[in-house]
Amino acid sequence: MSSKKPKNSKSPAKSNPMWGGQFASGPAGIMAKINASIDFDKKLYAQDIKGSIAHCAMLAASGIISKKEAADITDGLHKIKSEIDSGRFTFKEALEDIHMNIEARLAELIGDVAGKLHTARSRNDQVALDLRMYVRDMSLTIDAFIKALQLALITRAEEFSSAIMPGFTHLQTAQPVTLGHHLMAYVEMFGRDRARLKNLLANMDECPLGSAALAGTSFPIDRMLVAKTLGFARPTANSLDSVSDRDFALEFLSAAAITAMHLSRLSEELIIWSSAPFGFIKLSDLFSSGSSIMPQKRNPDAAELVRGKTGRITGSLMSMLMTMKGLPLAYNKDMQEDKEPVFDASLQWQMVLSAMTGMIYDFTADKKRMHALANQGYSTATDLADWLVKNLKMPFRQAHHTTAKIVKLATDKKCTLSQLSLTQMQTIEKRITKEIFNVLTVEQSVASRISYGGTAPARVKEAIFAAKKKYL
């Protein structure tokens, strides 16, 4: 590289008003640009102000600042909050981030006493607190979104608790199931996604404020009080850990990626089911789009986008893991990159949940078509084998072989298992009786799956009842 200064390195005249005491000049243009986070971290203003008010009250309660000073600071912070709420606040890149933008404005409003707010605090513990509170707020919001999706799934599962469709493994017809049972499978997945949110909320229920830059502070602060004021169970136990780790955000992003993966699988099924060869369901105009060239097309775009956004959400998790993986303790500026993945994933997570909830209420199902396809592919072959085991006391392995031969016979005759005659079946196993016809239809097959968690309509209705109690 040449030693010539790049064009954009012309410095602004003044050094940073907040920390520039020992700096003769301000940053190079590109330095100011790469250093500033205000464009995105302004999203944290409510959390930042809430944290500052709690810190200020504690400083006064501990006798570190006077009651009057605390009252002035708090008034100023409330004013700033309403300025930002109403869009009257001017954010400045030169002030780098949300913390310094707010503190500088506070000084404009109340004068030098504003500088006392930062006693016994650093931006390092401040930002750790702000992001933690943001993740906490978002986790609660997203929990409500997942719950709404569960309600949609349960509502439709109730409607389809006896609607027979093919169940698949390897996307090959396996055994008949009900659409209600299939939808309820996702209610369980989303239930665990909600449990992950609950767990991460419990894990991060500690307040980092008071850790200061990295080592704690010599001021007689009361961390218990701040933790309590901000709704945390307790303060964090180690100041270095408090300002260094972002595992709470990583847990949040992991939970996001897992939910997105669940949503993506469901999307994939909606896409397959709504294709002409399947024809199980139809999504209305509300969730589809047409093709600009092929007039017959109805594309499941919303489902495809939910599936597509899974890549983006998982990308946020990967981005943050990579940012964190090589950092020595304690704070490093790399960690400023922790915010955008969290903000973006939070937004996308809500969007994919809402879109899926909409699609679940929207689709119509073709029960006849699902039933007809459940009948194809010898989906009751296992029922036949089980009958041989129960009634002829055959070992299951042998029953499997015998059944395979009967399936071959039906394939040759181009009919379903229940369409074979008794005599035809007896050419393969002479001990078979007419009782076999009690287990060969898809209705009989589904109704017989009464084991706990099975697809029998009676069991599905019980599962719906239990899920309503557990989740709604």
For ligand ARG, the closer CB: 336 or 375: 336
Please indicate whether residue 291 is annotated as part of the active site.
Answer: yes
Closest to 174 (Cα-Cα) out of 445, 428, 369: 445
Cis peptide before 447, with omega less than 30 degrees from 0?
no
For ligand ARG, the closer CB: 41 or 344: 41
Burial 415-449 (b: 16+ CB within 10 A, else e): ebbbebeeeebeebbeebeeebeebbbbeebbbbb
Q: Which candidate in 170, 218, 292, 451 is catalytic?
A: 170
Number of residues that bind ligand ARG (CB under 6 A): 10
Contact letters for ligand ARG, residues 123-162 (x by CB under 6 A): xx--x-----------------------------------
Stretch that binds ligand ARG, among 82-90, 122-130, 270-278, 409-417 (CB under 6 A): 122-130
Q: Which candidate in 82, 291, 401, 421 is catalytic?
A: 291
For ligand ARG, the closer CB: 336 or 445: 336
For ligand ARG, the closer CB: 319 or 444: 319
Closest to 51 (Cα-Cα) out of 140, 123, 155: 123
For ligand ARG, the closer CB: 335 or 442: 335
Q: Min. distance of Cβ 41 from ligand ARG in angstroms?
A: 6
Contact 346, 138 (CB under 8 A): yes
Stretch that binds ligand ARG, among 66-74, 103-111, 119-127, 442-450 (CB under 6 A): 119-127
Q: Min. distance of Cβ 123 from ligand ARG in angstroms?
A: 4
Interaction of residue 342 with ligand ARG, rule CB under 6 A: no
Instruction: Give how far Cα 153 sits from Cα of 181, 187, 300, 327, 333, Å.
Output: 10, 7, 19, 43, 44
Q: How far apart are CA 163 and CA 50, in angstroms?
A: 52
Contact letters for ligand ARG, residues 298-337 (x by CB under 6 A): ---------------------------------x-x-xx-
Q: Interaction with ligand ARG in 26-55: which residues (CB under 6 A)?
A: 37, 41
Among the listed residues 48, 69, 72, 97, the single contact to ligand ARG using CB under 6 A? 97
**Which residues are annotated as catalytic?**
170, 291
Residue ranges in contact with ligand ARG by CB under 6 A: 37, 41, 97, 123-124, 127, 331, 333, 335-336
